Amino acid sequence: MEINRPDVVNEVTAAFERYERALVSNDVATLDATFRNDPRTIRYGGAENLYGFAEIEAFRAARSPAGLARTLSRTVITTYGRDVAVASTLFHRATSPGKVGRQMQTWIRFLDGWFVVAAHVSVIDEPKD
C-alpha cells in the first residue's frame, strides 16, 4: 500500500479545505454534501453523538450560525492507497480562550467522490506546555 501519494493527498486536501470553508460560513448544503449519505456514517461532536446521515443532517440544520470562525493548526492529512484518508487538525476559536478543539475525519473515495464516513470533534483545555 502506498501512503501519501501526492495526487491523492492533493484531492483530499481540496475536499478538506472545501469542508472547512463551508463550516465557518455555515454552508449547510456543502457540509451535508461532504458527509456520506448513509446510515452508517457517524459524527461525534462536542455535545452530541450522531448516528447516520439523517441525524448529522438534522444537527447541521438546527445549529446556530454564530461563532463558527476558527483558526486551524497542525493539520495532518494521511492517505492510504488511493481510496482512504484521515484528516486531523486542531482548532482555536476566539470565543473559547484557553481551549483547543480537535477534529478527526475518515474520508473514503467512492465512485462519486470523497466523503467523510466518520468524524470526531472535541474541545479540551489548552495543554500547558
Lowest mean pLDDT among 12-21, 64-73, 100-109, 112-121: 64-73
Fold assignment, 6-125: Nuclear Transport Factor 2; Chain: A, (3.10.450)
Res. 5: pLDDT tops 90 = yes
User: The pTM is what?
Assistant: 0.95
Which three cell numbers, joined as nine digits, stand for 23?
463550516
DSSP 27: -
Strands 49-51 and 84-92: unpaired
Strands 49-51 and 42-44: antiparallel
pLDDT digits 0-9 by tens, 13-30: 999 999 999 999 999 999
pLDDT of residue 128: 85
Q: Cα separation of 108 and 39, whole Å?
A: 15
Q: In terms of Cα–Cα distance, which of 49, 50, 27, 54 is closest to 38?
A: 54
